[in-house]
Amino acid sequence: MAEQKVAIVTGSSSGIGAAIATRLANEGYRVVVNSARSVAEGRALAASLPAATYVQADVSDEAQARALIATAAEQHGRIDVLVNNAGTTKVVPHDDLEAVTPQVWWDILSLNVLGTWQVSVAAVPHLSKSATPGNIVNISSVAGTRPVGSSIPYAVSKAAVNHLTRLLAAAVGPGIRVNSVAPALTETAWTADDPFFRAIADKCRESTPLRRVGTAEDVADTVSALLRLDHMTGAVLPVDGGAALI
Ligand SMILES: NC(=O)c1ccc[n+]([C@@H]2O[C@H](COP(=O)([O-])OP(=O)(O)OC[C@H]3O[C@@H](n4cnc5c(N)ncnc54)[C@H](OP(=O)(O)O)[C@@H]3O)[C@@H](O)[C@H]2O)c1
């Protein structure tokens, strides 16, 4: 088996996922970049990183989630780290109940929760062979720990990811550690143009203890740190500049 560790980062053609993929590649991992639609961007990122590859897969689809893991294992011979970062939302004011149709629920839950689950299930047999042990890191959100966020289905999906993290950590130890990282608002394409996110960004700059908006690199720093924290599993780590204190 090749010596270099292998990390899969779902949804890594842009934003937080791209920052995590770049960080792990710079730390010596062979990285698998993934996206469902932005193939050119994903391929370009993989080409810019040493020993990285790109695999297109919509992780909300079970067959494609399994194919992602099978292809990554075939390309690299091992899988040591899975970062479940691919996610989606729809901005809906929490009191606009009628706007949250079953389709809105399904679009969000099928990627944020089911996607996380089915990629993890497919990866577990490979991760459990990692000597160090294997790691799953789920990118959740502060919306999963407090009654805030871009919509009720999004917040519920991230709360589910946090509980999934705890349940999975108990189920797959000691061979695999499972943790969540829960960012507050983070500067990415997702949050750049929407008035809802701009208002939260202003609040972060004005009144959070650290007086700034988080960056994708802040989240990548936290993932990188978690991978070295060998006695931590089942944890949900906030990356929020102290936003929970206000
Ligand atoms: N930005 C924030 O303020 C913030 C805060 C807290 C948590 N988060 C979480 O951080 C994660 C990344 O967010 P981001 O802001 O970096 O978003 P982003 O820039 O929009 O990136 C999302 C990535 O996921 C990919 N993706 C979307 N649907 C996918 C699917 N079905 N299968 C595989 N890949 C898919 C996208 O590529 P394609 O669309 O081309 O497939 C893209 O690479 C999400 O889980 C989000 O909930 C973000």
Q: CA–CA separation, 128 vs 149, rounded Å?
A: 34
Would you say residue 245 lies in a domain?
Answer: no
Q: Closest Cα to atom 32, ligand 1: which residue?
A: 58
Q: Is the CB of 11 under 6 A from ligand 1?
A: yes
Residue type, 119: V
17 lines ligand 1 (CB under 6 A): yes
Averaged pLDDT, 9-29: 98
Report residue 77 CA to chain centroid gap: 23
Report how far ligand 1's centroid is from the alpha carbon of 10 (Å). 9
- Residue-wise burial string across 173-195, b where 16 or more C-beta atoms lie within 10 A, e elsewhere: eeebbbbbbbbbbbbbebbeeee
Whether residue 241 is contained in a domain is answered as no
The per-residue pLDDT for 82 is 98
Burial of 63 (0-12, 13-18, 19+ CB in 10 A): exposed
Q: Is 151 close to ligand 1, i.e. is its CB under 6 Å away?
A: no
Within a domain: 242: no
User: What's the average model confidence in pLDDT over 59-71?
Assistant: 98
Instruction: Confirm whether 60 is domain-assigned.
Output: yes
- Over the stretch 157-212, which tens digit does the pLDDT of each residue have? 999 999 999 999 999 999 999 999 999 999 998 888 889 999 999 999 999 999 99
What is the 95 CA–ligand 1 centroid distance (Å)? 25
On whether residue 52 sits in a domain, the answer given is: yes
Centroid of ligand 1 to alpha carbon of 130 (angstroms): 27
Using the predicted structure, report yes or no on whether residue 78 has a pLDDT greater than 70.
yes
State both tokens at 129: 């062979």
| From 85, 146, 215, 223, mutation site for ligand 1 pocket: most ligand atoms within 8 A of C-beta | 85
> Residue of the nearest CA to atom 7 in ligand 1?
141
pLDDT range class, residue 132, cuts 50, 70, 90? confident
In a domain, 148, yes or no: yes
Give the number of domains in the chain. Answer: 1
Q: Is the pLDDT of residue 131 over 90?
A: no
Q: Is the CB of 116 under 6 A from ligand 1?
A: no
Q: What is the pLDDT of residue 88?
A: 98
Atom of ligand 1 at shortest range from CA of 18: 43
For the annotated catalytic residues, the residue numbers are 154
| pLDDT tens digits, one per residue of 82-126 | 999 999 999 999 999 999 999 999 999 999 999 999 999 999 999
CA of residue 121 to ligand 1 center, whole Å: 20
The CATH number assigned to the domain holding 38 equals 3.40.50.720
pLDDT value for 2:
59
Percent of the chain with pLDDT strictly greater than 90: 95
pTM of the model: 0.98
Band (153; pLDDT cuts 50, 70, 90) = very high
Evaluate if residue 6 carries a pLDDT over 90: yes
| Host domain of residue 11 | 6-236
The per-residue pLDDT for range 136-150, each reduced to its tens digit, is 999 999 999 999 999
Is 122 within the bounds of a domain? yes
**Average pLDDT, integer, range 3-9:** 96
